[in-house]
Structure 1
């Protein structure tokens, strides 16, 4: 008869808290790996520039602040993802009270952030925050106004 799980002498089988002693079982790493690795989720703090842009958006469209923050986060992340990976959909979480944005970037964006982190010495979260701040004003209220010399619609 063949044993699928051979017994181990000298080791208690029950009550072990660390699984690293078992053959073939390794702890699962979550978070951000440095360098050319997989970025699972990044958390960034919402800056005052971001909140001001969301407040302007909310005032212009008569929305509440939380909805406006989610809208501005989606707009900024979509711009970044589209430029890097061509994606047209993003999934994220906003904690408006804590002032945090949680986002799992696509593989091409994660690689791009890792490359930039290696070049600049900044971490991926800081770089994503800088990019989000850059694109938070991409859809400002000024976009709704037509230039005076524009042809009629």
Structure 2
């Protein structure tokens, strides 16, 4: 698809964001079950529900622009996870693996925040309706809250 307008770029970035949300829906239960620290496990288990709500709100944004929800291959997320898996494979202590998992979680939250910041700028430029903009802003707030929680977990090691 050739991108010739801000609207087309917005849709492309929304597809990328939606792809990340779909991938996280599969990933977070795995991170929760692999964690040995209960607080880390609890974070990823509870954040899984937040991710589903964020994905649902992204679908609402697709509706607001009269587009079919579809996700793009989340290559950036896959790169983050590839590094995570390689590092965790070399770690022998479970507490260090949990630390690495929280650091990976922080990288993912930052990715989401960056995606949402770009979407919000473009949303303003294409005059996205208030419901769509509110959905994106809510997702950004939740990602920022997730990042803060992960910072606290990381600093507790």
Q: Give the TM-score category using the shorter length.
A: under 0.3
TM-score, length basis structure 2: 0.27
Structure with the bigger percentage of helix? 2
TM-score (structure 1 length as normaliser): 0.27
Structure number having the greater strand percentage:
1
